[in-house]
Structure 1
Amino acid sequence: MITLTAPAAPPLSRSTPSDRPPLRVGLVQHRWRDDAADLAKTLRSGIDQAAAEGAAVVFLPEITLLRYPADRPGGDDAAALTEDLETGPTFTLAAEAATANGIFVHASLYERAPDADWLGFNTAILVSPDGTLVGRTRKLHIPISAGYYEDTYFRPGPGPDADPYPVYAPDGLGARLGMPTCWDEWFPEVARNYSLAGAEIVVYPTAIGSEPVFPDFDTQPLWQHVIVANGINSGLFMVVPNRTGDEGALNFYGSSFISDPYGRVLVQAPRDEEAVLVADLDLDQRRDWLELFPFLLTRRPDTYTALTEPVDTQRPYGVGHEATAVVK
């Protein structure tokens, strides 16, 4: 597993001095293995590598320990893939790695729901250096198209009485963090809500790759562009751990990256190789950028009422455009 590192990028528009030291973050891009012990060993090795490079927090891809299930529609047996939030293998891996290295560890799991419905939650967690759960965020937006039949596995978050956009600032991290998941990364509303809640870093655990119906269509550039752009328009550092390799109908294209509020990609993994990324984040660059381009200050929420209307399934593309079928 290769390791790629990046120092803090220079500030471009600093008008107020900063006394905050850079935050060193890491992520692991991995290939799934059907041998559970081998997979856990690989992920643990990646976490340990990032910690050895000084990372204070390490981020892992979507549904970290599972083969991506949604390349085919699920059924009543999908619940067999779920796990308990704090006693399952994902939390156990994250907690053991966190305590062994004295760092925060983020991971993602298929969380068992508390009722008889077989749909579970797609959940991101953050574990502290003492092995306790300090953050949990459930995926809000669920894809429904060919190769990504997630609506047959996951129910939309956040769940009853939960904050859809929680921001965590655990003691010892020195940063404010949001943890949405994958499909959420395509929605500018998500980044903006996290920014308004005070997040400095948004991490998107991700599982994205090929399009089975259109195998010649490479969505990787679009995927990266939209995430970086949402970081620009909301003043956020983006941390995006993806997986790599073939899994069923999909080939995951890796390309995990970390970007800053100016739209600079600080460090990026290859498409087809397991990797550890480590980068220093000058978090006051969020403030610097939003002082120069005050998007949050000059918003006009009084004109945005159409965005909060219920989705019109007969006209999802807007007025004057007839609905067409989702590609399945």
Structure 2
Amino acid sequence: MNAPGNPNEPQQMPQPTPQPSSRATTAKRTIVAVTAVVGGVALVAVGASATYAALSPMRVDSLESIVDGAASSGGEHFDDFDTFDDQSDVAAVPDADGPTGEQSYTMAIDGVSSLDLEIGAADFTLAFGDVSEAELTVAGPSADAWKLAVDEGQLSVETPNRGVSCLFNCADGNHTTATLTLPKSLSETGTLDADISLEGGALQATGSFRELDLSVDAGEARIDGEAQSAAVDVEAGKAVIDLAGVRTAEVEVAAGSAEVNLTGKAPDRVAVNAATGRAVIDLPQADYRVDIASELGEVKNQLSIDESSKHAVSVRAEAAQVTLK
């Protein structure tokens, strides 16, 4: 038997279990939360890449199965598809014999009276030369996915949308260059209309146009030659225009800059609307009737003014710098 304890001896109380401080608990919770978020982002990236890799061959396999099935049945299934009866809505097929990473397209230009160029993430050149049909040469990623087509008298060029394939795999050096060469006859008559849009990269064009419409969302565009009318819209980036013979010109700048140099006879009408950014308009020597309205912007007018002149220039500048000279 154990001897009874001394009633006068102090009793030892049980010690409470130490609890983590609120600061340490908060730190641990923060680390766990951050780890979960990073892991979730990684899973999304892996899932997107895997989905794209899985779906891309499926589309090709599906197309091949359709073609093989139609061929085995004597081609009767092809009756369900539209066929091209004439030159309308015809797309060029890239030359399979071209070097790796380089493709060539050709297209007849009979009846063509206008151009529609939609260029993105490439260095593009439009030229007129000693060729009998439209020739498009592309070098770089997705060179075989460009579109050169003719539809109801309009020749169009469209760059591919790299989409998901470029979301996680856009290595440095993925640079695309392209040159569209058209017969000189299309430029010599001065009756060709051109609608050009640039969404990144660079564009260089030289030629004679009837109506020229340029839109720059990003990148830098440089166009020189002749035109009867010109419309330049710069959302961002830069446009440098040097044209002769322009009768009417419209310049809009949301951001970025536009440099427009008009030569030859003085134009009948020039309209400039600039929200932010910079616009420089260089006009032929003449007297002009000038109308200027500026809110927070700055307009420098170096033109010779005559209120009775038939050559009219109007400027609207919100918070931009506009120079007339």
TM-score (normalised: structure 1): 0.23
- Superposition TM-score, scaled by structure 2 size: 0.23
**Greater RCO (Cα-Cα under 8 Å, separation 6 or more):** 1
Structure with greater helix percent: 1
Structure number with the higher strand fraction is 2
Radius of gyration: which is bigger?
Answer: 2
